[in-house]
Each structure stands twice: as structure tokens, then as C-alpha cells.
């Protein structure tokens, strides 16, 4: 089994303990991967030899916390024999730890959400250029850092979600239109501290400038049905409860709710619709999850193998059928739900600009009164 390690705990451990916990092959759970067959029956021995040999480890510092990621790591282990050790934490915690530990860092891959955060990791010096023709073949140039310090793993659209019983799609058009008086008391969204909202605002600054974006943000605040609270799922639930008519949400939450084990979440998702705004203007806001190669990766070859696997056609189909994000590999087939949503125009901006404009976006949100 893979080792699952929380970054906050490991902060207080020495490097020697980390190495022992992550890469040791004697005893513990790692022992079950050994190829020895003492005492085994002939059939058991044959089964053991059919499995891939142990081929070392790859240490993944990840800020993603989706079950499908863990399932992919397990599948990768089965196919390659490479043990995947997950070190989990917030992106900021993981980047700071990689900076602090420098050359002694055990990080091989860094995985996180948001183009701005990936740019922050690059600017912090904790990543190195990737050299992999397979990876570049899997991921189009528009989904890669210009210096190849990171590549996208998946993309997610931040859209307008509406209550089907109270709003018709033809009443919707653009993000900008949500600031108009007709939506007063009918809009909900997450708080201004939420990274997804900050990146949305950062994209508007890039496309429309600060003045127009601030005017829009003030209009949205004036139209809020309640003060921002909760996550994207809570915005969907506010629509179902009649608190608001429209919400700003990421599409993958709708997909996850529709396939939830919680019957109430399914019911909520069945009663909301997804609308891709700005199709006649600047396009729908698209953000990414991404993978970076750690600056001091000690298992570089294994790290690249995992990145190549996760961005392969098969890996992308497994990932997006579990997370309901959009694949970045054009060869991957979309989940049925995403096919039903259809194709849509997206913003034409560099994902790094989400990070470049983050400070301005945060200050703008504060000035606008977006709590």
C-alpha cells in the first residue's frame, strides 16, 4: 500500500525519519511488496513473479485531495512496481517546506490546483524544467508553462449555475450581466478569500482591466442574496433551498454531486443547470490542476513516469471519470456528463497571469466589499 503522509506532521520530523518512512523496503506495509516466496505454494509463487518488480519510489507533494487521485496512484503502482508516497498539505505549506528543505527535500512531484499557484511554485524556485517528449505529446502547449516548469493535469470551468425551476438559460449571457439590477438578491458565491474566486477576478483584470472589474465586483456584492459562505456545494444547496437563483461555481462540483452517495446532494444537483457564460465575448473562465517536477527530485525518472501516466489517454479518462474535471489530453474521451454539456469557448489568457494578478485581485475584492 502507498504511504499517506500529512505535511503538517512531517514538518516536525527529521529528514532521516522521512526517508525511512517514505522509501524503506524492510518491514511495515512495504514488506508486502517484496518478491520473496518462502513458504508459498507453486501457484502463489507464479502469481508473485507475474507482478512487476519493485522499482523504487516517487514522493508526491500534493495539494489535491480527491479519491480518484489516490486510485490512480494505486493503479500506477500495480502497473509499474513504483511505490507512490503521498505527502499532503496546502499548496502554500508544501511550497514553503520545499523551499526550507532545499536540496535535502524528498519531493519528486508537486501537484496542485490553480494556474496562479503553479506560477507561485515556479517563482519560488521549487520546480525545475521538465524534459519529456511523452509528456509534451500528452499535454498541448497551451496547457504548459512557457519554460516547462509545470504541465496541466486537468482543467475546470467556473461557470454560472442556475435553479432550473426559476431561471431559463436564455435569461443568462455573461458574468458581467450578473451585476445588473435584475439579479438583485439572487446571486450567491464563495468568499473573497477563495482561490477560485481570486483567479476568476485575476482573469477579468487581465481581460478587462482593474476599473471595469472592480465595478463588476461591486455590482455582484450589491446583488448577493446573502453574505458569501461555504464551498461550491453550499452555493448549489442555496439554489435548491430558494435562497438564490444563480451561483458562481466550478463545473466539476456539479458532476461530483450528481454521482454522490448522498441522496440529498444528488437531488440538489438534478435541479440545477450549468451555463457557460461569455460565449459571444471573452469566453468562460478556465483554470487548471497541474504537475511540477521538484527542483531537487531524487527519483526524477519515476516522477516523470507518473506524470506521463496521469496525462496519458488512459490516465486522463480514469481521472476525469472520477473528478469530472476536463481532460487536457485531447485524445481522452470525455465522461458522458461533460459530453452533454457540449463544447464551449474559453478565455484566451496565460494561466501564469492568474498568479501575477492575484495581489491586485485580492485588493480589488476587499475594496468592493466582497466578504
Spatial separation of the C-alpha atoms in residues 264 and 133, rounded to whole Å? 45
- Residue 252 is assigned to a ligand binding site: yes
Cβ 87 vs Cβ 94: under 8 Å: yes
The DSSP letter of residue 52 is: P
Q: Which residue reads 501537484 in cell numbers?
A: 111
Spatial separation of the C-alpha atoms in residues 245 and 207, rounded to whole Å? 27
Dihedral sign, Cα of residue 304, residue 310, residue 311, residue 313? positive
Spatial separation of the C-alpha atoms in residues 330 and 327, rounded to whole Å? 7
Is residue 334 left, alpha or beta, with left meaning phi > 0 and alpha meaning psi from -120 to 50? beta
Work out the number of other CB atoms within 10 angstroms of the CB of residue 85: 22
C-alpha cell at 7: 505535511
Q: Where are the beta strands (DSSP E) in the chain?
A: 4-6, 57-62, 83-88, 109-113, 127-128, 150-163, 187-188, 246-250, 272-275, 285-294, 326-327
Angle among Cα 308, 311, 312 to the nearest 5 degrees reads 80
Spatial separation of the C-alpha atoms in residues 146 and 62, rounded to whole Å? 22
- Residue 175 is assigned to a ligand binding site: no
Angle among Cα 105, 149, 289 to the nearest 5 degrees reads 90
CB-neighbour burial class of residue 208 (10 A; exposed 0-12, middle 13-18, buried 19+):
middle
Spatial separation of the C-alpha atoms in residues 352 and 295, rounded to whole Å? 19
DSSP string covering 248-299: EEEHHHHHHHHT-S-HHHHHHHHTEEEE---TTTT-BEEEEEEEEEETT-SS
- Residue 120 is assigned to a ligand binding site: no
Cβ 157 vs Cβ 297: under 8 Å: no
Show binding-site residues: 65, 252-253
Residues flagged as binding site for Fe cation: 65, 252-253
Amino acid at each position: 500500500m502507498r504511504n499517506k503522509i500529512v505535511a503538517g506532521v512531517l514538518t516536525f520530523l527529521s529528514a532521516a525519519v522521512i526517508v525511512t518512512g517514505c522509501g524503506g523496503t524492510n518491514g511495515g506495509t512495504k514488506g508486502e511488496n517484496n518478491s520473496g516466496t518462502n513458504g508459498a505454494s507453486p501457484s502463489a509463487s507464479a502469481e508473485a513473479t507475474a507482478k512487476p518488480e519493485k522499482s523504487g519510489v516517487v514522493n508526491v507533494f500534493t495539494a489535491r485531495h480527491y479519491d480518484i487521485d489516490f486510485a490512480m496512484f494505486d493503479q500506477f503502482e500495480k502497473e509499474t512496481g513504483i511505490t507512490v508516497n503521498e505527502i499532503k498539505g496546502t499548496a502554500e505549506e508544501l511550497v514553503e517546506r520545499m523551499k526550507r528543505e532545499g536540496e535535502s527535500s524528498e519531493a519528486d512531484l508537486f501537484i496542485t490546483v490553480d494556474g496562479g499557484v503553479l506560477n507561485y511554485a515556479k517563482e519560488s524556485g521549487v520546480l525545475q524544467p521538465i524534459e519529456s517528449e511523452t509528456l509534451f505529446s500528452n499535454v498541448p502547449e497551451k496547457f504548459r508553462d512557457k519554460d516547462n516548469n509545470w504541465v496541466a493535469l486537468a482543467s475546470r470551468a467556473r461557470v454560472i449555475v442556475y435553479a432550473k425551476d426559476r431561471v431559463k438559460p436564455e435569461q443568462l449571457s455573461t458574468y458581467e450581466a450578473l451585476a445588473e439590477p435584475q439579479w438583485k438578491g439572487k446571486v450567491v458565491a464563495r468568499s473573497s478569500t477563495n482561490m477560485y474566486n481570486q483567479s476568476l477576478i485575476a482573469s477579468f483584470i487581465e481581460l478587462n482591466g482593474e476599473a471595469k472589474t472592480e465595478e463588476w465586483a461591486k455590482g455582484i456584492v450589491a446583488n448577493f442574496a446573502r453574505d458569501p459562505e461555504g464551498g461550491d456545494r453550499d452555493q448549489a444547496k442555496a439554489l435548491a433551498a430558494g435562497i438564490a437563483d444563480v451561483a458562481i461555481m466550478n463545473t466539476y462540483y456539479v458532476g461530483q454531486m450528481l454521482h454522490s452517495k448522498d441522496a440529498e446532494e444528488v437531488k440538489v444537483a438534478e435541479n440545477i443547470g450549468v451555463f457557460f457564460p461569455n460565449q459571444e465575448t471573452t469566453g468562460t473562465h478556465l483554470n487548471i490542476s497541474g504537475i511540477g517536477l521538484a527542483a531537487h527530485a531524487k527519483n526524477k525518472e519515476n516522477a516523470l513516469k507518473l506524470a506521463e501516466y496521469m496525462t496519458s489517454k488512459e490516465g486522463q479518462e480514469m481521472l476525469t471519470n472520477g473528478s469530472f474535471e476536463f481532460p487536457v489530453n485531447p485524445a481522452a474521451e470525455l465522461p458522458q456528463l461533460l459530453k452533454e454539456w457540449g463544447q464551449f469557448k474559453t478565455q484566451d489568457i496565460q494561466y501564469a497571469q492568474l498568479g501575477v494578478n492575484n495581489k491586485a485581485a485580492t485588493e480589488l475584492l476587499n475594496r468592493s466589499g466582497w466578504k
